[in-house]
Amino acid sequence: MKAIIQTGPRSVETQEREVPTPGADELLIKVHTAGLCGSDAHAYKYDGGYEWIPIPRIMGHEYSGTVTEVGANVETFEVGDKVVEEPIHDCGHCFQCRNGQPNVCQNFSITGMHRDGAYTEYVTVTPEHVHAVPEGVPLRHAAITEPTSIATRAVLDQSVTTPGDNVLVEGPGPIGVLVAAVTDSLGANVVVSGLSQDAAYRLPLLEDLGIDTVNLEEEGGLDGRVESQTDGIGFDVVFDATGHHSGVVSGNDVVRKGGQIVVVGIPNSASELSLTSTVRGEVDINTSYGSTWTNFEQALRLMERGEIAVEKILDTSYSVDDPAAAFEAFLGSETCKPVFQFDG
């Protein structure tokens, strides 16, 4: 079977591997489509915080597929079922897991990082980490359930967003786009900020989704949008999906008193946020990491209802046989959500 293997920093290649054999407690899944995200790009570069990943490694953690073989002890799935995997596997017994916080498990492991991943034709997984895909959701769309679940957690669980709120999403990467889409589905007034590097692909993508955007370098910041969209009051909710240490600082500058900032992207270094105005304005700063079983189900239901324009978000123009092209295009902001199709 074909498999996309990371062989070193900024080095990936497509190799032939043996089809895995599922154990008695496992499913064998034929991968249909697998997505590329920011954490995959960090792993590809072997950035700080990702250098622990063993190489060579089959990459990829967000995917959809069809069950082709069922272990003898598995009773919850059948051959032919359409499925997606929760790639962050919690241990089930640490304090956080027992306290209802499995997304921040102390002993978690991630598909495609701690173990071989989904950039391949077949994977094995235990059924407790698998969700059934609704009949109305194409497998190609279901491949981005995992990043959509991160967005549903950020918006539906970790924020106070309500219909009619003025919302800023900082950063038009995959998570920012999906956070904006989920927020828009609630009936909020959403604007997404980006830089000139995003003007060729990512900001136009959002405009095509019917979501307003602002090029910070072209418009000289957000002051004009604060005036025009919020009458100078400030945004009710700001989602920082930049993954940059400056995101929470700039968000703090434009959130209203009594508003909320939700940090979704993991900052690349320490922030220089001064909390004086934050405290005096009683601004709530919250965070959102990963997702839970419920968030996966929410993501699938939103896609089933057509609330997320998945077809417009996916970029299927990259080949399994030239994976480096997809990674480099992603890092250059030339695409937003590239996917590899193994059975498309």
Residue range(s) defining the domain that contains residue 242: 151-287
Give residue 26's pLDDT: 97
What pLDDT digit, counting tens, does each position of 239-268 carry?
999 988 888 999 999 999 999 999 999 887
CATH code of the domain containing 196: 3.40.50.720
Give residue 344's pLDDT: 62
30 lies in a domain? yes
297 lies in a domain? no
3-class SS string, the chain: CEEEEEEECCEEEEEECCCCCCCCCCEEEEEEEEECCHHHHHHHHCCCCCCCCCCCEECCCEEEEEEEEECCCCCCCCCCCEEEECCEECCCCCHHHHCCCHHHCCCCEEECCCECCCCECEEEECHHHEEECCCCCCHHHHCCHHHHHHHHHHHHHCCCCCCCCEEEEECCCHHHHHHHHHHHHCCCEEEEEECHHHCCCHHHHHHHCCCEEEEHHHHCCCHHHHHHHHCCCCEEEEEECCCCCCHHHHHHHHEEEEEEEEECCCCCCCCCCCCHHHHHCCCEEEECCCCCHHHHHHHHHHHHCCCCCHHHHEECCCCCCCHHHHHHHHHCCCCCEEEEECCC
CATH code of the domain containing 75: 3.90.180.10
203 lies in a domain? yes
60 and 19 in a single domain? The answer is yes
What pLDDT digit, counting tens, does each position of 136-191 carry?
999 999 999 999 999 999 999 999 999 999 999 999 999 999 999 999 999 999 99
7 and 126 in a single domain? The answer is yes
- Specify the pTM: 0.95
218 lies in a domain? yes
What pLDDT digit, counting tens, does each position of 54-104 carry?
999 999 999 999 999 999 999 999 999 999 999 999 999 999 999 999 999
84 and 193 in a single domain? The answer is no
What pLDDT digit, counting tens, does each position of 278-292 carry?
999 999 999 999 999
Domain count for the chain: 2
Give residue 273's pLDDT: 85
